[in-house]
Amino acid sequence: MLRTRVIPALLLLNESLVKTYQFGKYRYIGDPCNTLRIFNELEVDELIILDIAATRTGCGPNFELLTDIANECFMPLCYGGGISEFDQAKRIFNIGFEKVSLNSSCFSRPELVTKLSEHYGSQAVIASIDVKKNMFGKYEVMANNGKVSTKRSPIEWAEELESLGAGEILLTSIDKEGTWDGYDIDLVKQVSEVVSVPVIANGGAGSVEHARQAVKDGNASAVAMGSCVVFQKKGMGVLVNFPEPSSLKGLSNDCE
């Protein structure tokens, strides 16, 4: 039985790593390459890097920094942020990244999802969905780093992205992000039940037990972790870490 993937999700801002709270205020974490060296030593299986300013500023991916990151890392890498053209994604793959994550471009250029999937395989394309509850408690897909509501249902949007060729869904709860309170299990379950591709639960992880809940109760195929792998504890200082292999034993949605 394969263990469920536990994936550090790191946020880039102006060539530094930061950690946000509900897509708003943020704390400085450190230099990307220094941080990634630690994750190398911790033998992390996979890693997601998201540039949270690349689309908003229009600057696109920082290829020089991404080259340094790829040269530093030994684990499979996914990059997202500011990818709006096929040639940008091609350059990222050529640098050494195994996957790309698309968010805003899924709205503006949905054909890009299909083109990348056909060229590199669906396993190389992660569709990122950011979700927030509106004032009536209804889930809505958000765009532009969580600033603009698309009025779309995450369930319908996930189905559409799968049909376009996305091989995975990175599902982030904005309301839970950075809280340490656990994943939005209802959201994860609703999306996982309507798509056949893996769903990566993101937003709110504070412990391995939260990951177990996302997998067992939410049917997530994988979990992403942010705050709890870059801080000592909630409200404390920076400490890059990763759960001990023994604590992840049995982390599978097939286990009893």
Active site residues: 130
Q: By three-state DSSP, how is residue 130 classified? A: strand
| Contact predicate 223/183, CB 8 Å | yes
For residue 52, which amino acid is it?
I
Residue 27, classified by CB atoms within 10 Å of its CB into exposed (0-12), middle (13-18) or buried (19+), is: middle
Please state, in angstroms and as integers, the Cα–Cα distance from residue 82 to each residue in 58, 74, 93, 108, following that order.
7, 24, 15, 12
The whole-angstrom separation of Cα 103 and Cα 84 is 9
Interstrand relation of 199-202 and 222-225 (parallel, antiparallel or unpaired): parallel
